[in-house]
Amino acid sequence: MTKAILPQRADLDNTSHLGDPTDALKHLLHQALRGAMELELEQRVGAAPYERSEGRSDHRNGTRTRRFDTRLGSIDLEIPRLRNATYFPTFLEHRTRSERAVIALVQEAVINGVSTRKIEKLVAELGITSLSKSQVSEYCADLDEEARAFRERPLVGQYPYLFLDALFEKVRIHRTVMSQAAVVAYGVRENGNRELIGLDVVDTESEESWTTFLRSLRERGLAGVKLVITDAHKGLVKAVDTVFVGATWQRCKVHFTRNVVAHAPEASKKKLAGALQSIFNQPDYEAALGAYAALREQFVATCGKAMQILENGLNDALAFMAFPREHWSRISSTNPIERINKEIRRRTRVIGIFPNVASALRLISMLLLEQTEDWHADKRYMSEESMAQLYLNDASG
């Protein structure tokens, strides 16, 4: 088997006309990366180009161009394609997109004169010494287009489970720092895979903003929603009722439990919190109602207000019990989307204040895009068998 194409003496000689030493190094790096890809491809395919081999497992099928940003500048790599499989060089990590978004965001903050000590420190760590508005605009343009394409992509198929939540970020708008709501939606497809399906940044988390956001999901093709899992924000709940007529609303049991406990006397909070879990751990709805009756009898004298809140919201918090039991732990609360929000906050905390709405959308979009790619590479969030049971229940009903 032939060896990979690595920089040879001729390649070194061919750099003499490049003048700038950086151009020469960039040329050599390009050659080395090309050689690394060829070596990986030979191992993957089982044969060198044009080589006849009984061990061949695939065939080359042209190339595609991808820009690779390095400290020596941008390099246009011709990445080989395979006929029957997908090849992606190991030295190109998909997570570099969010890092590019962070860099672009920091650059934009510096250009707009809104940097803080934290931003300035990050700029220094990234090795950014001088910037121009034209450089920033060009750098951000590609990221913005990729982020927009992800946010506006058509939604194909059925999404029986839909999770909705919002997180708040500080954004500079007309020289004033304001709190903006990043509204996020992710769904579980009919095959059991999960993905981020929507993101927008709005002035406030209101019924109007949620309704507009949810209708935009419908316009992109969102269909088949059976259960919507959210907290008890009144505007959000009304928007869900308006846009997803016929779907069931699941009130997050975690938020609901906290709300009930918050209205109990301090001396009873810990004991009540533990007792409430017994309701949600029952094997079916009837048993859950029995556990509630026993709990109410125990706490009504000392926790009257908490028991009233529990009674008023219990049915909405137990909605998940009408769906396949295998799904209960995943659809009874907004914890899955809360974990995503926690990761977003970890990254945006470094920024502090976004210079504008576009920069917030850019960074959060890239984080959600990477999360979706990771999910697609993992095993299904819910098994195909359990998803089939979900639709079987519909047919029998």
* Most confident segment among 92-101, 121-130, 350-359: 350-359
| Residue 117 clears pLDDT 80, i.e. is over it | no
| Residue 375 clears pLDDT 90, i.e. is over it | no
Q: How far apart are CA 123 and CA 121, in angstroms?
A: 5
Mean pLDDT check: name the lowest of 172-186, 213-227, 292-306, 376-390.
Answer: 376-390
What proportion of the chain, given as a percentage, has pLDDT over 70? Answer: 79
The model's confidence at residue 74, banded by pLDDT at 50, 70 and 90, is confident
Write down the residue that tokens 């065939």 correspond to: 59
| Residue 370 clears pLDDT 70, i.e. is over it | yes
Q: How far apart are CA 310 and CA 297, in angstroms?
A: 13
* Average pLDDT over every residue of 325-347: 90
What is the structure's pLDDT at 339? 84
Q: How far apart are CA 259 and CA 89, in angstroms?
A: 50
Mean pLDDT check: name the lowest of 75-84, 145-154, 218-227, 315-324.
Answer: 75-84
* Average pLDDT over every residue of 335-341: 86
- Express each pLDDT in 247-259 by its tens digit: 999 999 999 999 9
What is the structure's pLDDT at 362? 86
| Residue 114 clears pLDDT 70, i.e. is over it | no
- Express each pLDDT in 202-234 by its tens digit: 988 899 999 999 999 999 999 999 999 999 999
Alpha-carbon distances, residue 268 vs 27, 263, 265, 302, 303 (angstroms): 71, 10, 5, 8, 8
Alpha-carbon distances, residue 156 vs 84, 153, 221 (angstroms): 24, 9, 6
Between residues 107 and 24, the one the model is more confident about: 24
Q: How far apart are CA 324 and CA 311, in angstroms?
A: 24
What proportion of the chain, given as a percentage, has pLDDT over 90? Answer: 46
The model's confidence at residue 4, banded by pLDDT at 50, 70 and 90, is very low
Mean pLDDT check: name the lowest of 146-155, 282-291, 347-356.
Answer: 347-356
| Residue 9 clears pLDDT 50, i.e. is over it | no
* Average pLDDT over every residue of 178-202: 93
Mean pLDDT check: name the lowest of 167-176, 192-201, 202-211, 346-355.
Answer: 346-355
| Residue 70 clears pLDDT 50, i.e. is over it | yes
What is the structure's pLDDT at 236? 96
DSSP symbol at 236: H
The model's confidence at residue 61, banded by pLDDT at 50, 70 and 90, is confident
263 phi/psi in degrees, rounded to 5: -100, 15
pTM of the model: 0.69
121 phi/psi in degrees, rounded to 5: -65, -40
Token couple for 359: 């920069």
| Residue 348 clears pLDDT 60, i.e. is over it | yes
What is the structure's pLDDT at 20? 53
What is the structure's pLDDT at 210? 96
- Express each pLDDT in 258-282 by its tens digit: 999 999 999 999 999 999 999 999 9
- Domain assignments of the chain as residue spans, ordered by start: 9-78, 96-150, 253-333
Q: How far apart are CA 163 and CA 199, in angstroms?
A: 12
* Most confident segment among 56-65, 172-181, 216-225: 216-225
| Residue 289 clears pLDDT 70, i.e. is over it | yes
**Mean pLDDT computed over every residue of the chain:** 82
* Average pLDDT over every residue of 321-347: 90
* Average pLDDT over every residue of 287-307: 96
Q: Any residues with CB less than 8 A from the CB of 134 and at least 6 apart, and which?
A: none
